[in-house]
């Protein structure tokens, strides 16, 4: 793999969502800071990433004091574009500019696969793509991707031109591919999507039930 080790690739967790669906139904605060098995949702993600990566940072423009307790660098968006995850992805590219690649991950996804980085890198090395997105259960997860960091100027220019702030729309302008991850099995014989994310109170309830089964 050209001597690139998956563990050496920086990971930036995108923690910039407004949690609007969660708050609309009466739960205050950021969704990734709600408790799941006595720990914030994002803490579960960090634990899983630490088994795969040597360097992890958090991208957020708010609640930086809350996030600092996790002992990771917290980086605010470095650009004025109001472009959702793409602004965070651009910030991640600049943050990891001394590396060939950076991986981005969503803060509200506590059950990610244990081979996320390894599989993304393997697919990139096979296809030489500019970005590799994670997919599962027939869905693409645009916030989970391995990006070439030298795409930063390209992405900045694309955003400055006022294009629709869609991760997939930008990816259509470069060489992209996917790495597919299977659903995971539970002790009771059922399965779950490892990229299950928490957007609303019902999702948090489901995540807590899922965590109980994983703890068995």
Residue at 144 is within a domain: yes
Residue at 155 is within a domain: yes
pLDDT-based confidence at residue 2 (cuts at 50, 70, 90) = low
Tell me whether residue 175 is annotated as binding.
Answer: no
Residue at 1 is within a domain: no
Tell me whether residue 58 is annotated as binding.
Answer: no
Tell me whether residue 107 is annotated as binding.
Answer: no
Tell me whether residue 61 is annotated as binding.
Answer: no
In this structure, of 95-104, 137-146, 154-163, the range with the lowest mean pLDDT score is: 154-163
Which tops the pLDDT comparison, 26 or 66?
66
Rounded to an integer, the average pLDDT of 182-188 is 92
Residue at 176 is within a domain: yes
Residue at 91 is within a domain: yes
pLDDT value at residue 81? 67
pLDDT-based confidence at residue 26 (cuts at 50, 70, 90) = very low
Contacts of 41 (CB under 8 A, 6+ apart): 31, 32, 33, 34, 35, 107, 108, 110, 198, 204, 207
Number of domains in the chain: 1
Write out pLDDT tens, residues 110-136: 999 999 999 999 999 999 999 999 999
Tell me whether residue 59 is annotated as binding.
Answer: yes
Q: Which residues pair with 59 in a beta bridge?
A: 14, 75
Rounded to an integer, the average pLDDT of 208-213 is 93
In this structure, of 64-78, 85-99, 112-126, 128-142, the range with the lowest mean pLDDT score is: 64-78
Instruction: For residues 85 and 193, give the distance between their C-alpha atoms in angstroms, rounded to a whole number.
Output: 21
Give the largest Cα separation in the chain, rounded. 51
Tell me whether residue 31 is annotated as binding.
Answer: yes
Residue at 54 is within a domain: yes
In this structure, of 54-68, 138-152, 183-197, the range with the lowest mean pLDDT score is: 54-68
Crossing angle, helix 201-214 and helix 41-50, to 10 degrees?
50
CATH number, domain containing residue 38: 3.90.550.10
In this structure, of 7-11, 50-54, 76-80, the range with the lowest mean pLDDT score is: 76-80
pLDDT value at residue 27? 46
Residue 24 has pLDDT above 80, yes or no: no
Tell me whether residue 53 is annotated as binding.
Answer: no
Residue at 23 is within a domain: yes
pLDDT-based confidence at residue 25 (cuts at 50, 70, 90) = very low
pLDDT value at residue 66? 82
Write out pLDDT tens, residues 145-168: 999 999 999 999 999 898 888 999
* Residue 70 belongs to domain spanning: 6-214
pLDDT value at residue 18? 54
Contacts of 72 (CB under 8 A, 6+ apart): 46, 56, 57, 58
Mean model confidence pLDDT for the chain: 91
Residue at 74 is within a domain: yes
């Amino acid at each position: 793999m050209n001597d690139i080790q998956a563990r050496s690739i920086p990971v930036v967790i995108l923690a910039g969502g407004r949690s609007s669906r969660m708050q609309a139904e009466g739960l205050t605060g950021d969704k990734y800071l709600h408790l799941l098995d006595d720990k914030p949702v994002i803490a579960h993600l960090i634990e899983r990433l630490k088994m795969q990566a040597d360097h992890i940072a958090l991208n957020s423009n708010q609640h930086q004091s809350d996030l600092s307790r996790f002992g990771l660098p917290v980086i605010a968006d470095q650009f004025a574009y109001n472009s959702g995850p793409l602004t965070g992805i651009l910030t991640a590219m600049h943050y990891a500019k001394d590396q060939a690649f950076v991986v981005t991950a969503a803060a509200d996804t506590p059950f990610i696969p244990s081979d996320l980085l390894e599989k993304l890198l393997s697919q990139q090395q096979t296809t030489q793509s500019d970005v590799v997105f994670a997919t599962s259960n027939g869905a693409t997860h645009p916030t989970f991707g391995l990006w070439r960091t030298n795409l930063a100027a390209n992405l900045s220019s694309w955003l400055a031109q006022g294009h629709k702030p869609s991760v997939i729309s930008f990816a259509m302008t470069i060489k992209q591919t996917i790495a597919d991850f299977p659903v995971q099995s539970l002790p009771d014989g059922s399965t779950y999507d490892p990229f299950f994310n928490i957007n609303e109170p019902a999702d948090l309830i489901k995540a807590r039930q899922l965590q109980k089964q994983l703890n068995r």
